Chain A
């Protein structure tokens, strides 16, 4: 069985106190669309943080599905946001690059 490097959970950032300085410096967070958070697996501090924020654990497949849905929505929004006569370069200048697919790591 493959060794998991990361674990995922869904938690809404409520602002002050959601991630404190100690957690930020020691855990190594990465956030993804859909209020999805990636933290190290097999890590006591990360586990304590998930409990603190009442995070809902997600398997890799569940987490990927959340991200895919969010990215797809953003891509559709981007695709449908057009100005007549605008070049692709001008569209990127106006909106930024088309949202890219995101592949989560185990």
Chain B
């Protein structure tokens, strides 16, 4: 008979309290209780339609949470660049002041819909511009060092990381460049392992995941604030997808090219297929966390109509259960 160690590579830990950040399926023995415990993640999360945008939007960006999101810029149904902005309160979208520079395929991040950063972007062209939103107006702040489109960025308005994208004059379109933001300046730091544009990433400036991109790939990397580490590939390629997450052990990716409805989560050790979006969509934007996210806009077949639709993801929190031995 196989042992737990043979299957999992480690023995069951004997602990006097539950571990602070257990992995799904991890088993431990509580010495104080005399019982085995495990963390169980209910994979029963599902999408539901959310409030409808006032204006269809694709290839835009966003920042915030499921109930406090800002969606900005991107393209309209005619593939023209937008500088329009809408905020979401969990029920409905409200038009806000425009950004200074219209663009698409930029990075977006923020703690809520009143503290957001729009990073770089382009199409056509490449912008180094970064703009900061305070709940009312957009202000130009210091540029990134390398202008690029198809970049991803995550974190909060005062501490962020931006990675990947494409920029002119490069030998290859897909880049590895990574920059961190301290609230004032951008600094070049260690590169991604795999160059790509149109990737998606979520987390914080010190703990994040990126996945997918163009050339089409399922490759994923984990960021610890200093280095990118290649992790397991997602189950399927992710290009122009949306994502949400709070760390490099809690990440959700959804949608993408070509009109993908699939949703996958990363728990720090494995990817798990979850329930699909109601509508397959690409160039959608994601914000929120692994357990509470929103997918905003994008486009679906026949292919050139920017959607006003949004979907909201809710998943039950992981629970620690006692294992009963028979």
Q: Report which A residues bind B (CB closer than 8 A).
A: 13-25, 29-33, 70-71, 74-75, 77-78, 81, 94-100, 102
Range of interface residues on B (Cβ < 8 Å): 20 to 34
Report how far A21 CA is from B311 CA in the complex, Å.
10
B47 contacts the other chain (CB 8 A): yes
Q: Are A32 and B301 in contact (CB under 8 A)?
A: yes
Q: Are A19 and B305 in contact (CB under 8 A)?
A: no
Selecting from B13-21, B48-56, B131-139, B228-236, the interface stretch reads B48-56
Q: Are B48 and A21 in contact (CB under 8 A)?
A: yes
Minimal beta-carbon separation of A86 from chain B (angstroms): 11
B278 in complex: contacting residue of A16, A19, A70, A100, CB < 8 Å: A19
Q: Chain B contacts of A71 at CB under 8 A?
A: 301-302
Question: Which 10 residue pairs are nearest across A and B when measured between Cβ atoms?
Answer: A99-B302, A15-B52, A25-B46, A74-B302, A21-B46, A18-B49, A99-B303, A21-B48, A31-B279, A19-B49
A33 in complex: contacting residue of B52, B302, B310, CB < 8 Å: B302
Q: Chain B contacts of A29 at CB under 8 A?
A: 278-279
In the complex, per-residue mask of B71-113: 1 if CB is within 8 Å of any chain A CB, else 0: 0000000010000000000011000000000000000000000
A16 in complex: contacting residue of B49, B280, B301, CB < 8 Å: B49
Q: Are B49 and A13 in contact (CB under 8 A)?
A: yes
Report how far A19 CA is from B210 CA in the complex, Å.
29
* Pairs A–B under 8 Å by Cβ, sample size 6: A16-B91, A19-B48, A19-B49, A22-B46, A33-B302, A78-B304
Q: Are B275 and A24 in contact (CB under 8 A)?
A: yes
B44 contacts the other chain (CB 8 A): yes
Q: Report which B residues bind A (CB closer than 8 A).
A: 44, 46-52, 79, 91-92, 124, 275, 278-280, 299-305, 309-311, 314
Report how far A22 CA is from B91 CA in the complex, Å.
18
Q: Are A21 and B304 in contact (CB under 8 A)?
A: no
Q: Chain A contacts of B311 at CB under 8 A?
A: 24
Q: Are B46 and A99 in contact (CB under 8 A)?
A: no
Among B46, B49, B91, B309, max chain A CB count under 10 A is at B49
Report how far A18 CA is from B52 CA in the complex, Å.
10
Q: Chain B contacts of A16 at CB under 8 A?
A: 48-51, 91-92
Report how far A96 CA is from B301 CA in the complex, Å.
11
Q: Chain A contacts of B278 at CB under 8 A?
A: 19, 24, 29, 31
Among A21, A22, A81, max chain B CB count under 10 A is at A21
Report how far A52 CA is from B138 CA in the complex, Å.
41
Report how far A17 CA is from B90 CA in the complex, Å.
12
Q: Are A13 and B46 in contact (CB under 8 A)?
A: no
Q: Are B304 and A95 in contact (CB under 8 A)?
A: yes
Minimal beta-carbon separation of B316 from chain A (angstroms): 11
Q: A19-B278, A21-B46 are in contact. Are A70 and B314 (CB under 8 A)?
A: no
Other than the given A20-B48, A95-B79, A102-B302, 16 more pairs (CB < 8 A) read: A13-B309, A20-B49, A21-B46, A21-B314, A24-B46, A24-B48, A24-B311, A30-B280, A31-B278, A74-B304, A75-B302, A78-B303, A94-B79, A99-B302, A99-B304, A100-B301
Q: Chain A contacts of B301 at CB under 8 A?
A: 32-33, 71, 99-100, 102
Name which residue of chain A comes closest to B281, CB basis: A31
Report how far A56 CA is from B10 CA in the complex, Å.
57
Report how far A94 CA is from B104 CA in the complex, Å.
12
Q: Chain A contacts of B47 at CB under 8 A?
A: 19, 21, 24
Name which residue of chain B comes closest to A71, CB basis: B302
Q: Are B304 and A96 in contact (CB under 8 A)?
A: yes
Name which residue of chain A comes closest to B53, CB basis: A15
Report how far A98 CA is from B303 CA in the complex, Å.
8
Q: Chain B contacts of A75 at CB under 8 A?
A: 302
Q: Are A96 and B300 in contact (CB under 8 A)?
A: no
Minimal beta-carbon separation of B310 from chain A (angstroms): 7
Q: Chain A contacts of B302 at CB under 8 A?
A: 33, 70-71, 74-75, 99-100, 102
